[in-house]
Amino acid sequence: MRIERVNNQNKPHRWEWIKAHHPDFDIFIDDDKSWIKSVRSHFGDDKIYVINDYKTNRDLQADNIYHVKTEVSDLKDQDFAIAALEKNLARLEKEIKEESKKKTEWWPTLLPLGVICLGIVLMLLVLLVPKKLRNKKK
């Protein structure tokens, strides 16, 4: 079910989509009081509704409607630069880890080679030891 705008209305309505996909929700959060009203009218008072504490939304009052203050954060340009560096660092660490895995993956090839060498040595011993014992008997 996909929500589309038809004649300036959602089709299906938001509450219809919620009822079809998430009927057991506990908390509905939105910044548009008309959607809060619509969903609340179809799901009742046993749900929790959260809306921004805008002046235009303050007339929407009920025991299960909570108004949350939203504030502009004090992020600076350097905070974005630091976040970008941290992300690049994480990517580089991942690449290094993958490269180190590739470099250490050569050792499993030694195991079959060692088994083959051991087999050759054992076969030579089996073939050579009986000749020595035969020579001593003569």
What is the secondary structure of the chain as a DSSP string? ---EEETTEEES-HHHHHHHH-TT-SEEE-S-HHHHHHHHHHH-TTSEEEEE--GGGTT---TTEEEE--------HHHHHHHHHHHHHHHHHHHHHHHHHHHHTTGGGHHHHHHHHHHHHHHHHHHHHHHHHHHHH-
Q: Same structural domain for residues 14 and 64?
A: yes
Average pLDDT over residues 16-42: 86
Residues 89 and 123 in one domain: no
Residues 12 and 25 in one domain: yes
The answer on 58 and 12 residing in a single domain is yes
Shared domain for 99 and 123, answered yes or no, is no
| Interatomic CA distance for residues 64 and 73, integer angstroms | 27
Owner of token pair 């350097």? 78
Q: How far apart are CA 31 and CA 39, in angstroms?
A: 13
Phi, psi of 108, rounded to the nearest 5 degrees: -65, -20
Tell me the C-alpha distance between 83 and 120, whole Å. 58
Band (130; pLDDT cuts 50, 70, 90): low
Parent domain of 9: 4-68
Do 29 and 85 lie in one domain? The reply is no
Do residue 11 and residue 34 come from a single domain? yes
Q: State whether 58 and 14 are in the same domain.
A: yes
pTM attached to this predicted model: 0.46
Q: How many folded domains does the chain comprise?
A: 3
Local confidence band at 22 (pLDDT 50, 70, 90 cut-offs): confident
Q: Are residues 40 and 96 in the same domain?
A: no
Q: How many CB atoms lie within 10 A of CB 39?
A: 20
Query: Looking at the structure, do residues 93 and 60 belong to the same domain, yes or no?
Result: no
Q: Which residue has the higher pLDDT, 60 or 14?
A: 60
Is there a single domain that holds both residue 97 and residue 46? no
The predicted-structure confidence for 79-128, as pLDDT tens digits, reads as follows 778 888 888 888 899 888 888 777 666 666 777 788 888 888 888 877 77
Tell whether 24 and 55 lie within a shared domain. Answer: yes
